[in-house]
Structure 1
Amino acid sequence: MSKRVSSKRRRPTTQPSSSGETASVDDDGGVEASSVDSLGFRGEALHSLAQLSDLVIDTMSMSATSGVTLTHSVETNTTTVSASVTRTSHGTTVSSSNLFARFPVRRGELQRTKKKQLQDTIQLIKQYALSRPDVKLILQHRLDAADGAVVTLVSTSGSGDLQRSLGEAYGGRIVGSMMHVHWASLPHCEVSGYIAPVGGGRTTSDMQVFALDGRVVDLPKLAKTLHDTFLEAHPNAAQRTCPAYFLSLKTDGTAAYDVNLAPNKRRVLLQLEREWVEALRREALRMFKTSTDAMEITAATKNAVARDLARADERRLSLTLTPVSATSHAQVILSADRRSGSDSLQPSGSLRKRERDDGAPLGLGMSLPPDRRLLLDDDDDRDVEVTSNSVVDTGAEEEGDEQMIVTDEGLLDYYLHRRTARFESRFPDLSSLPASMVTEGASQSVESVEQSSGNKKNKTTTKGGNKPKKISKSINAQTDDELNQMLHKTDFEKMEIHGQFNHGFIVASLGEDLYIIDQHASDEKFNYEQLCQKYVARPQPLVKPIRVAMEADEALLALERAAELRAHGFIVQRPPDHDGAPGGSNNLAVTVASVPILPYDTVVPQDVCELTAQLLQYQSIVRPLKAVWHSMATKACRSSIMIGAVLNDKMMRTIVDHLGTLDQPWNCPHGRPTLRYLGSLATFRDDHQRID
C-alpha cells in the first residue's frame, strides 16, 4: 500500500479515480482509454470514504525517509499535506472518523443498527482472514467512544497456513469438526479448504466462504450445488441445516472470469461456471457419501459415557457425618432397602456377637477413631453399623430395621461396592476378603472422618466410592487413538445380539463396545430406502391442464426434456395458444397435463419447477421431489416395527443385518438416530465383578 501513495502523485488520493489505472489523467481531466488495461471501479474507495467521514492518511513510502499526513476537508474539497511526526516505519494508515456525520438520516440508521453492523464487520474480516491467510489482520472495538476499553474481536497471525487462520478466526472447535479437502477435477482450477461433513451442518449460512484467487467472492450457483449435495447425502434429517465450508479456488491463469460487476467486486462472472458446477457436485457428493458410510465414536463420546456412569455412581452414595456423644465409639452405618424375606439380614442365626480386644485390628482393616459415626444413606431402610470395636445385631426385631455392626475398613469398602446389589444372607469371612478391597477411595473416606472430629455442625455430604475414580483413571490412561474409532456399515453383521430392552431397543455389542439400537428407527430406514429404490412415479391426468409460469430458459428446457419430466409424473406441453414467436409472452409458460400421485402427499402442477431447476443447473434430475421424500418416509414409518413390539432372536438379527445394507444407516428419514454408543463391556464387566 505504501507504494501507491507517493510524492509523485499528480492528484491527491482522495480525488475520484486517483488510485487506479485511471490516475494518469491529463490537465483537462481526460483519460487515455488505450492506457487502461482493465475496466471496473478503480480508485474510488478513498474518494468515497473521504466524502462520508473525516479522513486522515498517514503514509511513508519505501523510498522516503519521513512520513506524510494527508487530511481531507469535505467543506472545501481540498487535501492538506503535512509532514508526519509520528510515522517511523514504512506503510500506510487510513483513519476514518465521524462516519456519516454530514448525512443525518444515514447516521441515525447507523446508530440504530450499530450492533448488527458490528457483527457484519466481524464476519467480513473473518472471511478476508481466510481468503488471505498470509496477511495479518486485527479488528479491535472500543466499548466507549471516549475512554472505553479496547476489545480485540479478530486477530490473525498472517502465517499463511489456512488451518491456523481458520482456528484463529473461528476457533479450534470449528477446525476439529471439519474435513480438509483438495479437489483438482475442476477445469483449470484447484479447490482446497475445509468443509463440514454430513451431521456437522449449521442452521445459518454464516460459515460459507469462497475465495477466488485470494479474493472473497459470492458464487451462488456453486453454493447452491454444495447445499443440494449436502441435502442429497442426508436428505430429510438435514433439510433445515446448511453446510459449513471455507474453500479457496485457485486458477491456473487460463480460466477467464470478470470481477468488475459491483464496487465490492464480490459478484463474479465465470466462463467455465457450468463445468465447475458439475465437477464440484461430483466431488462434494463423493465426499458427503463417504462421510455417511461410517460413524465416528470419539474420545469425547466415550468420556461422556464414563462421566455419566460416574455421576450415577456418586448419586447412589451419600456419606453423612453425624455428631454423637463423646463417650461413644465411631460408627459407620450402611443403609439398604428392605427387600423380601429371603433378602433379610437375619441369616438363620449365623450372625453372632463377637468380642475382641479394644482397639485391636480385625482382619485386613484397622480400628476406627472414636467419637464419630458415619452414616451411608442409600435411600434404603436397613442399616448396617461399622464400628471399631464389635460386630453385633442392634435390635432388628425391636425397631423393624435390620442393623448389623461390622468392624474393618476392608469390609466397609466391600459394602460400598455392594451398595446397588441385593444383600446376601451371610457376610463373608473377613479373612477371605482380598487385599484389593482396601482401596484408596475408602481410605480417603475414613480419613475425612478423622480430620473432621472437631466439627459438630450439620451433616456433611462426601462423594465417595471407587467406581467413579476407576472410570476416570481408565479413560484418562488411554490415548485418543485408542478411544477414537469408526463404526462402519460392514460392522453390523459382526455384532453380537444380547437381547431386547424395554420392547423398543436392541442391545448389541461389537468387540468390547456396547450399542443400543432403536428397532423402529432402524426398520423405518430400511423400509424407506427400499421404497425409494422401488419408487416409480404414477402420473395422474388432470381434467384440465394447468398453465405454469416459468422463466424463458426454464420453459424451453422443460419442453426439450419432457421425457425426463414424464418419468417423474409430469406431462408438460406447449401452451395451445403458442404462436411460436421467439419473443412472445407464451415463451414464459408451459401447461402441465398430469402430476404424480403419492400416498401421503399432494403434488401440485407448480412443483414441476423444482425439477426444471435441477435440469437447468445439473443438466439432469438428480433427486426426486421433496414431496416424494416425505411421502416415502411417512409410509416407511407407518409400516415399520413399532416401539412395544416383542422381537425374537431372528427378527433382531434381521434388523441389525439390514443396517449394514443401507446407503446411510445412522438415522431414520425423520432424523431419529438408529443407534447409540453405551460404553465398554470391560468397564461393565469390572463393575459387575466388584459387586459380586
Structure 2
Amino acid sequence: LPSSEPANAIKAIDRKSVHQICSGQVVLNLGTAVKELVENSLDAGATNLEIKLKDYGAELIEVSDNGSGVEEANFQGLTLKHYTSKIQEFSDLIHVETFGFRGEALSSLCALSDVTIFTCHKSAKVGTRLVFDHNGKITQKTPYPRQQGTTVSIQQLFYTLPVRHKEFQRNIKKEYGKMVQILQAYCIVSKGVRINCTNQIGQGKKSPVVSTTGSPNLKENIGAVFGQKQLQSLIPFVQLPPSEAVCEEYGLNTTNTPQNFYRITGFISRCDHGVGRSATDRQFFFINQRPCDPAKVSKLVNEVYHLYNKHQYPFVVLNICVDSECVDVNVTPDKRQILLQEEKLLLAILKTSLIEMFGRDVNKLDVNQKLLDIAGNLKRTLPEETEKPQVEVLPDSKTQNPSSHGSEIMTLARLRESFSLPQMTDSNLQSPKRVKRQHSYPRQLPSFYTTLSPVNSRKAALSKESESESKMPATSRYLRKLEDNTDSGFSSTSAESDVGYNMQEDESCSERATNSSSEEISNSKEELQNECLEIVGLSEKSLECDVQFLGTVHKLNQVEDWNNPKNLSQVASSSSPRKKYFKSKADDLKADLSSKEKNTKHHLANVDVLVEIKKKTVPLEFSMKVLAEKVKKVIQQQKKRTETQNYRRFKAKISPGENKVAEDELRKEISKEMFAKMEIIGQFNLGFIIAKLNSDLFIIDQHATDEKYNFEMLQQHTVLQGQKLIAPQNLNLTAVNETVLIENLEIFRKNGFDFVIDENAPVTQRVKLISLPTSKNWTFGPQDIDELIFMLSDCPGVMCRPSRVRQMFASRACRKSVMIGTALNIQEMKKLVTHMGEIEHPWNCPHGRPTMRHIVSLDLIS
C-alpha cells in the first residue's frame, strides 16, 4: 500500500559529514597513508626521507624530509580540501609530472587522525609547529627549531571511524606487509634519494624495515632493498620492436605502428628453475616513474615467463616511459590504475622482447656441425629439434639480416616468419583479411533466420496445441479453451506489442483458432454438463440457490459484432480484469451455458460473470479428537515424505571423475560427531571397512584413513630435530623478511631451523642460520626458509610447514599406517573410523586418494 507519510525532502549533507565520507575514500589503508606522505616529500625535492612507525603504524606514522619546506603564506591552505600548488585547472593534468595534484591527501588524513606538521622553509629563520583539527584548520601555531624540510606526524589513523579503526588494528600486520611492498616500489624508483624506514614496538628498540643509500642507479637500489643475492638472478630488459607474428596476434598493422612510442627499461629474473619466486610479491611496474598496477602488463609478463618456468614467478622491475599526454592517471583515488593510449602496442613490444630474452638461454642446443646441405642452404632439422623454442643454426643468406652476422641463434618464430611467404604460391595465396571475412559470413545468418522464426514457430505451436487438446477429456478441454480465449482475447494487444507480430497475421491466426474452439464448445455441451455433475457429486434436487446476473450478461446481449476486437475489449474493461468468479453448483453451470449459447452464437471469448449467491447456513459436526488424528496423520505423512527425500542425499558415483562432487556431498551431510556414531558392519576384501549410519552404508579405505590421521598428528606434534652447521650461514634476507623470521622464531624451531640473532649487525645481516632439519634421506635448505617466511607474512603466528616437510610427513605417515591386506577386528575398525572425526580434513589422504564414499541407502532397497 502507498505510504501516507510525506516524502523526505532532498537536502545538502553538512560539510563535516561530506568531509568524513570523502576522506574515507581517499585514504584506504596504512599503505595509502604512507604513500601520500612519501609522495609529498618527493614532490618537494627531498633527497633524504625518514619514515618512523610505532606499533606497525597503528599508533604513529611520521615522515621527515629535507625538501623545500612550506612557506608561512601557505600554512592555511596546506590541509584544506582541493588546495594544491601542482595544478590550477583541469587541462594542467596533461602535463603534470608530480605524484600528487588533487590536494586531497593531507585534508583526508586530518579527517581520519590527529595531524601535526613541523616545517621550515629556506627563507624562514626558524621552523614552525602546526596542529590541525579534523577539518584541516590550524588550532596551534608555535615556533619549532628544525632544519629545512617538513615532518608530518599522523597519530591514531582511522580512530574517527570506529568500525574501520577496529578492523585496522585487528589486521595491522597484514596492513603493514602491504605498506612495506608499496614503500619498496618508491625505494627502487627514487634515484638519488636516501629512504630509511624503521618500526618500534612499544618501548622496544627501533627495527629497520627498508633502507636505501641514495644511489642514482636503479640496479643498486634493487640491491639495497632486496640484497645482492637477488641481483645475481636478474637480467636487464632489452626492448625490441614487435614482430609480425605478435602484431597479427594483437591486431596491429606493422606499417602504421608508431615508432619509439614507448621506452621500457628495467630488470627481470632469469627463467632458470630455482631463480624465480613462489609468488608475485616482487613485481614492480612504473609508468613515467609512477608506481602502478597495470593488470594486463602483469598478466602478460607472468604468462610469457611460465612458458619457460611453469612453477615460479619472475622478479620484475619495469619502468615504461611515454609522453604525458598519452597517459591518464586520474582514474582511481590511489592513482594505481592508469589508462594508456596504444596499450596493444605496449603488450606486443613486451611479448616480443621477453620471448627473445628468455629464448636465448632456454633449451639451447649445442650442435657440433653447421646444419647445411651440400648447396649451402639451411638443412631441415629433426622433429625433436624443431619443437624446441631455440635451435642453433646458420641462417640462409637470403633471410639473414646484414646487421646481425655475429648472431647464429634464431627462434623458430623468426624462422617461420622468414620462410613462410616465399613458400606460398600465387594459386594458394590468401590474405588473412580475406579469411576473416569468409569466417564472418555465418555470424550474420542467425539474425536473418530470427526474422522468419516468429510466424513459423507460432504456426507450429498452434498445430501442436490442437493435437494435444484432441486427446483431453471434454471438461478439461472446454475449460482450457475458455482460459486460452480469455487470456489471448483480452491481452492480444499487449502480446502484439511485446512480440511484434504483424496485426493482420495475428488476426487471421486468432480467427482460425477461435472458430475451431467455438465448434468444439457447441459439440461438447451435453458431455460437459454430465461430467460437471459427476465431478461435483450432487443431484439437481439438492441444489437450491437464486442466481442473479448483475450487468455483465446484459452487456453481452448488447454486443452485436463479436468478430470486432474493439467490442471485446470494451466488455472486458467493464469488469475487473483477470478475476475469475467460479460457481460451485450444477444449476449455475447449466444456466450459464444456456444463456451464453443463446446470446453468443459466435463465441470468441469467455467473459467474467459477476455472481451473487444466497447461501443457507448448515450446522456441522466437529470433534477435536478427529482433528487431532488428522493432524497426526498429516505430520506422519510429511515425515515419511522427508525421509523419502533423504534417500537420495548422496548422488555422486564412485568414480575418479566425480571425486569433487562426492567430497562436497560428504562434507555437507557428514559432521565430525557422526563418525563416532557409525556402526561397523565388517571388513571387505581386507582393505575396506563397511560402516552404517542410520540407513546409509559407507565404504572406508582403511589405509588412506589411517594415513591421513597419522599425517595430521605428525603435522601438529612433531618437532623436527636440527643438524648444527659447522659455521653460521648468512641468509641475506631483506629487512622485512628478517622481521617476519624474528617474530616467528618458535615456528621455525618446530620445523628444525635455528638461528642466531645479532641485533647490532646491519640490516639484512642480523640473522644467521646455525641449524637445518634433517631426516634420513631428506635434506632442507634456505629455499625452505624463504617459503616459510612467505607463508607467515600472510598468516603470522599460525603453525605451518614447508612443502618438502609436508612431503616427508606424508611419506612417513604412509609407511606407519595400516596396509591393504591387513585383517582387522571390530575394535580396530571402530578406532580407525572414530579417528576420522578427530582430524581437520578427513576426506582425502595426503597423496590425494579418497578415504570414504557412500555406497547405498537401505531405505531404497527396502
- TM-score, normalised to structure 1, is 0.41
Indicate the structure with greater helix content. 2
The structure that is strand-richer by fraction is 1
Structure with more relative contact order (C-alpha pairs < 8 Å, separation 6 or more): 1
Q: Which is higher, the Rg of structure 1 or of structure 2? A: 2
- State TM-score, norm by structure 2: 0.33
